[in-house]
Amino acid sequence: MEGLDAATIRRLQSLVTSTQLKRRLPSLVMVVQERGQQVGAFTAGLADLDSGLAAGSDVQYRIGSITKTLTAVAVMQLVEAGRLDLNDTLGQHWPKAPHPDLQVSALLSHTSGLQREPVGEVWETLVLPTRDELPQSAADARRLYPAGSWWHYSNLAYALLGEMVAQISGLSWEEYIHRRLLRPLGMNRTTLRPTSPRATGYAVSPYSDEVAEEPAVDSQGIAPAAQIWSTAADLGTWSNFLNCGHAEVLRSEVLQAMRAPRVLADLDGWRLAWGLGLMLMRSGDRVYHGHTGSMPGFLAACFSSPGHDSGVAVVTNSTASLRIGALAAEALNILTERDAGRTWMPGPPVPDTVRPLLGRWWSEWNEWVFSWREGALVSIPADAPEGADWERYQEVGPDLYLCASGPERGEELRIVRGEDGGVEKMYRATYPMTREPKPFGAAAADPQRS
- Residue 2 has a pLDDT of 59
pLDDT digits (tens, 9 = 90+) for 281-303: 999 889 999 999 999 999 999 99
Q: In sequence order, what DSSP letters do the residues of 36-76 get, joined into one string?
A: TEEEEEEEEEEEETTTTEEP-TTSBEE-GGGHHHHHHHHHH
Quote the CA–CA distance of 66 and 88 in Å, as a whole number. Answer: 24
Percent of the chain with pLDDT over 90: 84
Q: Given this model, what pLDDT does residue 339 score?
A: 55
- Rounded CA-CA distance 420/399 in Å is 15
Please say if the pLDDT value at position 213 is more than 60.
yes
Q: What is the pLDDT of residue 1?
A: 37
What residue ranges of the chain are covered by domains with CATH 2.40.128.50? 355-445
Average pLDDT over residues 186-209: 97
Query: Does residue 398 have a cis bond before it (omega within 30 degrees)?
Result: no
pLDDT confidence of 28, banded at 50, 70, 90?
Answer: very high
Is residue 445's pLDDT more than 90? no
pLDDT tens digits along 109-129: 999 999 999 998 898 999 999
Chain region(s) in the chain for CATH 3.40.710.10: 6-339
pLDDT at 450 (0 to 100) = 42
Mean pLDDT of the chain: 93
Confidence label for 424 from pLDDT (cuts 50, 70 and 90): very high
Please name the residues in contact with 380: beta carbons below 8 A apart, sequence gap of 6 or more.
368, 369, 371, 388, 389, 390, 391
For the cut 90, the answer to whether the pLDDT of residue 374 exceeds it is: no
Grouping H, G, I as helix, E, B as strand and the rest as coil, residue 32 is: strand
Confidence of residue 341 (pLDDT cuts 50, 70, 90): low
Task: Note the pLDDT of residue 434.
Answer: 95
Neighbour-count burial of 412, counting CB atoms closer than 10 A to its CB (0-12 exposed, 13-18 middle, 19+ buried): middle
pLDDT, residue 389, reads 79
What integer pLDDT is reported at residue 234 of this predicted model? 98
Q: Which of 378, 383, 346 is nearest to 359 (CA)?
A: 378
- 46 forms beta bridges with 54
CATH of domain 355-445: 2.40.128.50
Angstrom distance (rounded) from CA 308 to CA 374: 13
Distance of CA 204 to the CA centre of its chain: 30
CATH superfamily entry for domain 6-339: DD-peptidase/beta-lactamase superfamily (3.40.710.10)
Share of the chain above pLDDT 70, in %: 97
